[in-house]
Amino acid sequence: MALCTLGTVYSGRLFTVLGAAAPGVATFCGYGAAVDGARPPGRRPWAKTAVYLTVYSVILVEPPVFALTCVEALTALFPSRLTRATAGLLASAIVLPLAQLQHLEDLAACAWAGVAGMAVAAGAVVVALARLPVDPATRVPTALVARHTPPAAAAAALMDVVFAYGGQVNWVRYVGGMASPPLFSRCVLATAAAMTAAYAVVGAVGYAVLGSSFDGAAPVTSVLPPSAAASLANAGLLLHAVLAYQINVNVWAHTALHVVRGGGGDHGDGRGRSLWLTTTALCIALSALVAHLVPNFSGLMAVVASLGDLAGAYALPAAFVLALAPGVLGRGEGRLAKALVPVALVASGVGMVLSVKALVDGP
């Protein structure tokens, strides 16, 4: 967590430098095009291809994670009333109208509501964990089942932590939409500090109470015994997941339209709104299908994190800054940025192999 926090803060620094080096760019592919355009004569272009293989790939596969989170929260809230398939349809019906908001600035109020939902969920989980009955002989909560965690699943769990600090694939649009882009690094610092504080509290209480007895086949919110705190936790998680799902569908639609049509643009007229509705509906339908077919929550998150979160957070921003604004970095920071590229790519490759193995092995 400490390493991810420091990495996230430095990633914010890299994106802030990129925003200044290529003002007005609103897509990762735009940065890639700028890097390819600045290459010396005779050098083959690589940046846009790298964007498509990593960042755009993860943007296209990330929404199912939030669709699955919605399903987990709904089935935990209504265990005897909703099947997973019904919960998936209900989540899709909730998100589709919300996804018709096209501009990220229109989602600001929704984002704050999502933050509030996660704060409620985290607090309720801590309360629910603290109240779990414990077997005096084993000091293990009687409500949860102990499982052996194989090495691949443990590696996938590390990638889940990377996912928890991820989202940098969306940052280009955030930086490009800010009135004062140089303030972005401060926003990242504040966000990373708040995230780490919340993760530390939940993690400390969780490990103190559960030790090695936690069943990692599902999120902790799904395996807590029924109680008011558990219901409140799942309600907060559902609110957060729905609004995070909405944001990821928005980015997915913009990215898909950019790839297919050469630019996302503003789809405010009748034909444009119909195209946006079709694109977001396709994203939600595919996400619901993947969430239904691949119910391994931890494994799915780990695959997404391995596919592009490391590259999108560290490897590509560092490489792009070195290509577009090398003079901004001092000698020491330049060496750090150069080292980040291979380290992030190797970690991504190893994480992908082990995460796919954990996904294939199943819960």
pLDDT in tens, 238-292: 999 999 899 889 888 988 887 787 655 555 666 778 899 999 999 999 999 999 9
Cβ atoms of 82 and 281 closer than 8 Å: no
Distances (CA, A) of 352 to 219, 323, 345, 346: 21, 27, 10, 10
Separation between Cα atoms, residue 349 and residue 346, nearest integer Å: 5
Q: What average pLDDT does the structure give for the chain?
A: 85
Q: What is the pLDDT of residue 132?
A: 79
Dist CA 106 CA 254 (whole Å): 15
Contacts by residues 2-7 (CB-CB < 8 Å, ≥ 24 positions apart): 2/196, 4/161, 4/162, 4/164, 4/165, 5/165, 5/192, 5/193, 5/195, 5/196, 7/165, 7/313, 7/314
Q: How far apart are alpha carbons 237 and 24 in whole angstroms?
A: 35
Per-residue model confidence (pLDDT) at position 214: 63
Q: Which residues contact 194 (CB under 8 A, 6 or more apart)?
A: none
Poorest-confidence range of 11-15, 95-99, 112-116?
A: 112-116
Over residues 88-106, mean pLDDT:
87
The pair phi, psi for residue 23, each rounded to 5°, is: -65, 140
DSSP assignment string, 51-105:
HHHTHHHHHHHSHHHHHHHHHHHHHHHSTTT--HHHHHHHHHHHHHHHTT--SGG
* Cα separation, 135 vs 40, whole angstroms: 68
| Cα 181 to the center of its chain, rounded Å | 22
Question: What pLDDT shows up at residue 351?
Answer: 87
What is the model's pLDDT at position 262? Answer: 64
Q: Under DSSP, is residue 213 helix (H, G, I), strand (E, B) or coil?
A: coil
- Report whether pLDDT(218) > 80: no
CA-nearest of 245, 240, 359, 252 to 306 is: 359
User: How far is the C-alpha of 46 from the C-alpha of 41, rounded, in Å?
Assistant: 13
pLDDT in tens, 46-94: 888 898 888 888 888 889 999 999 999 999 899 888 899 999 999 999 9
Question: Strand, coil or helix: what is 42?
Answer: coil
Indicate if the pLDDT at residue 311 is higher than 80.
yes
Residues in the chain: 363
Mean pLDDT value of segment 171-195: 88
Joined together, the tokens standing for residue 71 give 């399903």
Confidence (pLDDT) at 245:
92
CA 326 to the chain's CA centroid: 29
Q: Coil, strand, or helix at residue 296?
A: coil
Residue 97 structure tokens: 């109208």
pLDDT recorded at residue 283: 94
Q: What is the pLDDT of residue 234?
A: 92
Taken in order of first residue, the domains within the chain and their CATH numbers are 2-361 (1.20.1740.10)
Q: What share of the chain is helix, strand, coil (3-state, %, to 5)?
A: 75, 0, 25
Enter the DSSP assignment of 275: H
For residue 329, the model assigns a pLDDT of: 87
Residue 231: what pLDDT?
Answer: 92
Position 141 confidence tier, pLDDT thresholds 50, 70, 90: low
